[in-house]
Amino acid sequence: LEDTEAGLIEAATAADAIDAIFAPWRQVLVESNFTMGCPLAATVVDACGDDRLRQEARALLDQWRDSVHAALVKFGVQESTAEDDASVLLAALEGALILSRAKQSTKPLDIVQRFFTTSLTQAAANPADPLANLSLSFLGDPSYADGRAAATSDYLDAANTYYQQDAQRMRA
């Protein structure tokens, strides 16, 4: 967590901030030969009967989310959606760590990092673009960063557009 917070403070771009979040975990996975992941996730799972441990883990997860939230706002993500975006990013990161350990590969982590780097940097760089500004909070009430209602299909359309753009860049 300390490495991540330091990296977020030093980040010069949204992509740097996303890398500061993911790079320490990639290092943990590789250096442990995929035997270690996030100790907070392990604590939450193992502390099901220990309220004190769960509260401490919750406080650290909240601190982590708040650090990511602040970085997202710093790099242009709308305040109204940044907390949800930070929560979704951390949930996806935790899932990617589990998948990476299971597959003995950083590929799941790389995919999640690429998704957030692309979607959040595009949203920050193009605040007038409604598709780029569709918040990750679509998991609840779909809405754009400016508060307009959106349909889940808007997000899927945007994701498909970005996927096609990524595929074109990879072929080039």
Q: Is 110 left (phi over 0), alpha (psi -120 to 50) or beta?
A: alpha
pLDDT at 121: 78
Are the C-beta atoms of residues 159 and 114 closer than 8 Å to each other? no
pTM tops 0.85: no
Q: Give, in order, the Cα–Cα distances in Å from 131 to each of 109, 118, 122, 125, 138.
A: 25, 13, 9, 12, 12
- The larger pLDDT score, comparing residue 101 to residue 156, is at 101
β-pair partners for 129: none
Lookup: tokens for 8: 């977020």
Query: pLDDT tens for residues 61-108?
Result: 999 999 999 999 998 888 888 898 899 999 999 999 999 999 999 999
Q: Give, in order, the Cα–Cα distances in Å from 56 to each of 68, 112, 133, 142, 152.
A: 19, 27, 34, 32, 35
